[in-house]
């Protein structure tokens, strides 16, 4: 569900770049120069796109009070036949629809067709939309805290789970102390209301939408709240709403171990010429990986990449996170993971380190941001939505241990997934008035549900989905 988060967490505290300060270049486009309007006033942005900021109520119960500004981008239709806008959400929560369409709009157009406007928007609180949650006074404070964060795997040491509990308690205190009054309004149902505002500003009555992973939840919430406004809605990589709104984060991993074994079985089937980590059986491959992981637990490996002027340490936690990250992209990442494991077996961690760096797109723990980047905190919108949407949790460490045991009974990857629940234990105690079901609605058009045969982070079978 959060495909890049674990890579960033894994390498964030272990990459060290030598010398030099970040260079601030003049940005191609600045959202700060786009005035929020109650209508869509488009202006040229990026390469061949158009952008606008839509002014919406921050609090729909008191719409005349403060406002939020939703950043929106579109790639316009190229066909003489126009069939309206299609809105996208790439997942998260906290994923940027603006970035999604900015970077991938042309590819999406080949899939969807030239008759549609492709519209990406940053949900309230995310990336280029404002206001944003700011649990830290500055980007520097955030990076200092993040650099010292607990290991990404809570199986790294005997105290790692307790460290996660302590870090999460502190994070909740930060969030509450720096709340400017907007924090409680970052919820999925309010994003759905914002989508209605986008539709109306576009002059449309029905929603056309494609949401991935968390975006499937957003599409379901919208459809349950506004069934008469459903046009063509695709929910892709289906999230278990009951599990999500209970802040459990358990059912996501129902197929994670199957995906892991599929890697090993695929390596055997590919043979020694195509799979660098080949062995005669899947069980032998998995046992060898366990041995490598335990060796890294006892003795991590240093890595330095001269041409990047970057170094770091590959340890048990690093490996666990990279394995789990690869499960979401078997066609592109399994061969790379196999090579990394083969090199690790020989005591060389460079290829795995390079892979992590490229996936995380991060070459240092911290470089000063420029302009808008300085006020953006990568994790803050994600946790704001997860914790605001979900049920209030007990702050007790005993509850954290109990949840981890429940998660471990479902998947061996509980160690890299436990933070999604635990991060909310000390979140500010806002009233839970947001929409959390029921997910039963007579929509004006059927929804299209898409799922994988094996999905390491979402429901394995969309037939158990809860919206009809």
Give the 3-state secondary structure of the chain.
CCCCHHHHHHHHCCCEECCCCCCCCCCCCCHHHCCCECCCCCEEECCCEEEEEEEEECCCCCCCCCEEEEEEEEECCCCCCCCCEEEEECCCCCCCHHHHHHHHHHHHHHHHCCCCEEEEECCCCCCCCECCCCCCCCHHHHHHHHHCCCCCCCCCCCCHHHHHHHHHHHHHHHHHHCCCCCHHHCCHHHHHHHHHHHHHHHCCCCEEEEEECHHHHHHHHHHHHCHHHEEEEEEECCCCHHHHHCCCCCHHHCCHHHHHHHHHHHHHHHCCCCCCCCCCCHHHHHHHHHHHHHHHHHCCEEEEECCCCEEEEECHHHHHHHHHHHCCCHHHHHHHHHHHHHHHHCCCCHHHHHHHHHHHCCCCCCCCCCHHHHHCCCCHHHHHHHHHHCCCCCCCHHHHHHHHHHHHHHCHHHHHCCHHHHCCCCCCCCCCCCCCCCCCCCCCCCCEEECCCCCCCCCCCHHHCCCC
Structural class in CATH, domain 31-132+186-246+437-464: alpha beta
* pLDDT band for position 389 (cuts 50, 70, 90): very high
Distances (CA, A) of 360 to 7, 9, 122, 304: 5, 9, 20, 17
Using a 10 angstrom Cβ sphere, with 0-12 exposed, 13-18 middle and 19 or more buried, the burial of residue 176 is middle
Tell me the residue ranges of DSSP E strands in 59-125: 67-75, 85-89, 117-121
* pLDDT band for position 311 (cuts 50, 70, 90): confident
**Choice between 458 and 223, residue whose per-residue pLDDT is larger:** 223
Q: Is the pLDDT score of 370 beyond 70? A: no
pLDDT, tens digit, 9 for 90 and up, residues 146-191: 766 556 788 788 888 999 999 999 999 999 999 999 999 999 999 9
Q: How far apart are CA 350 and CA 287, in angstroms?
A: 22
pLDDT, tens digit, 9 for 90 and up, residues 32-76: 999 999 999 999 999 899 999 999 999 999 999 999 999 999 999
Mean pLDDT, residues 383-389: 96
* pLDDT band for position 140 (cuts 50, 70, 90): confident
Least confident of 89-103, 166-180, 302-316: 302-316
Q: What confidence score (pLDDT) does residue 112 get?
A: 95
Q: What confidence score (pLDDT) does residue 118 get?
A: 98
pLDDT, tens digit, 9 for 90 and up, residues 402-460: 999 999 999 999 999 999 999 999 999 998 889 998 888 899 999 999 988 888 888 76
Burial call 277-298: b when 16+ CB within 10 Å, e when fewer: bbbeebeebbebbeebbebbbe
In DSSP terms, which residues pair with 288 in a beta bridge?
Answer: none
> Helices 350-360 and 5-12 sit at what angle, rounded to 10 degrees?
120
Task: Specify whether the CB–CB gap between 6 and 416 falls below 8 A.
Answer: yes
Q: Is the pLDDT score of 466 beyond 50? A: no
Residues in the chain: 468
* pLDDT band for position 336 (cuts 50, 70, 90): very high
* pLDDT band for position 376 (cuts 50, 70, 90): low
* Other beta carbons less than 10 A from residue 136's beta carbon: 19
In DSSP terms, which residues pair with 16 in a beta bridge?
Answer: 311
Q: What confidence score (pLDDT) does residue 19 get?
A: 37
Q: Is the pLDDT score of 26 beyond 90? A: no
Q: What confidence score (pLDDT) does residue 459 get?
A: 75
Q: Which residue carries 């723990």 as its tokens? A: 365
DSSP single-letter state for residue 285: H
* pLDDT band for position 308 (cuts 50, 70, 90): confident
Q: What confidence score (pLDDT) does residue 148 get?
A: 60
Q: What confidence score (pLDDT) does residue 310 get?
A: 82
Q: Is the pLDDT score of 246 beyond 80? A: yes
Question: What is the token pair recorded at 461?
Answer: 């079978």
Q: What confidence score (pLDDT) does residue 107 get?
A: 95
Q: Is the dihedral of CA 250, 252, 254, 260 positive or negative?
A: negative
Q: What confidence score (pLDDT) does residue 461 get?
A: 61
Q: What confidence score (pLDDT) does residue 263 get?
A: 98
Mean pLDDT, residues 85-92: 96
Q: Which residue carries 């990568």 as its tokens? A: 378
Mean pLDDT, residues 276-296: 97
Q: Is the pLDDT score of 144 beyond 90? A: no
Question: What is the token pair recorded at 77?
Answer: 């239709």
Tell me what percent of the residues of the chain surpass a pLDDT of 90.
73
Least confident of 67-81, 264-278, 305-319: 305-319
Q: Is the dihedral of CA 232, 331, 289, 161 positive or negative?
A: negative
**Structural domain boundaries in the chain:** 31-132+186-246+437-464
What rounded mean pLDDT belongs to the chain?
88
Task: Specify whether the CB–CB gap between 418 and 164 falls below 8 A.
Answer: yes
Q: What confidence score (pLDDT) does residue 154 get?
A: 82
Task: Specify whether the CB–CB gap between 218 and 385 falls below 8 A.
Answer: no
Q: What confidence score (pLDDT) does residue 25 get?
A: 52
DSSP single-letter state for residue 335: H
Q: What confidence score (pLDDT) does residue 17 get?
A: 37
Q: What confidence score (pLDDT) does residue 10 get?
A: 34
């Amino acid at each position: 569900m959060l495909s890049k988060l674990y890579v960033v967490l894994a390498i964030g505290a272990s990459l060290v770049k030598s010398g030099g300060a970040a260079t601030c270049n003049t940005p191609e486009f600045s959202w700060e120069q786009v005035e929020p309007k109650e209508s869509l006033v488009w202006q040229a942005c990026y390469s061949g796109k158009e952008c606008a900021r839509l002014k919406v109520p921050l609090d729909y119960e008191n719409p005349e009070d403060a406002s939020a500004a939703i950043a929106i981008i579109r790639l316009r239709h190229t066909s003489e036949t126009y069939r309206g806008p299609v809105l996208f959400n790439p997942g998260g929560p906290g994923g940027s629809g603006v970035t999604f369409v900015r970077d991938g709009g042309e590819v999406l157009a080949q899939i969807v067709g030239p008759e549609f406007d492709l519209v990406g928007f940053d949900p309230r609180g995310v990336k280029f939309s404002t206001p944003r949650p700011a649990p830290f006074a500055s980007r520097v404070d955030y990076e200092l805290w993040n650099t010292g964060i607990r290991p990404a795997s809570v199986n790294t040491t005997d105290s790692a789970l307790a460290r996660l509990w302590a870090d999460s308690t502190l994070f909740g205190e930060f969030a509450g102390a720096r709340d400017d009054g907007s924090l409680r309004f970052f919820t999925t149902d309010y994003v759905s209301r914002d989508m209605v505002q986008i539709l109306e500003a576009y002059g449309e009555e029905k929603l056309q939408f494609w949401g991935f992973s968390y975006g499937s939840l957003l599409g379901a919430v919208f459809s349950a709240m506004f069934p008469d406004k459903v046009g063509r809605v695709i929910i892709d990589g289906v999230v278990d709403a009951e599990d999500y709104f209970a802040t459990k984060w358990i059912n996501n991993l129902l197929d994670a171990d199957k995906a892991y074994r599929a890697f090993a079985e695929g390596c055997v089937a590919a043979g020694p010429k195509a799979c660098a980590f080949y062995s005669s059986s899947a069980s032998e491959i998995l046992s060898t990986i366990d041995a490598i992981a335990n060796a890294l637990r006892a003795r991590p490996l240093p890595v330095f990449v001269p041409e990047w002027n970057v170094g770091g340490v590959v340890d048990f936690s690093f490996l666990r996170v990279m394995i789990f990250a690869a499960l979401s992209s078997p066609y592109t990442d399994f061969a790379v993971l196999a090579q990394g494991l083969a090199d690790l077996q020989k005591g060389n961690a460079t290829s795995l380190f390079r892979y992590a760096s490229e996936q995380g797109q991060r070459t240092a723990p911290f470089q000063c941001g420029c302009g808008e980047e300085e006020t953006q905190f990568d994790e803050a919108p994600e946790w704001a939505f997860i914790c605001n949407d979900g049920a209030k949790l007990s702050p007790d460490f005993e509850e954290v241990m109990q949840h981890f045991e429940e998660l471990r009974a479902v998947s061996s990857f509980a160690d890299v997934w436990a933070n999604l629940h635990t991060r909310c234990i000390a979140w500010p105690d806002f009233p839970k008035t947001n929409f959390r079901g029921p997910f039963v609605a007579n929509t004006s058009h059927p929804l299209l549900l898409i799922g994988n045969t094996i999905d390491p982070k979402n429901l394995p079978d969309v037939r158990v989905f809860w919206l009809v």
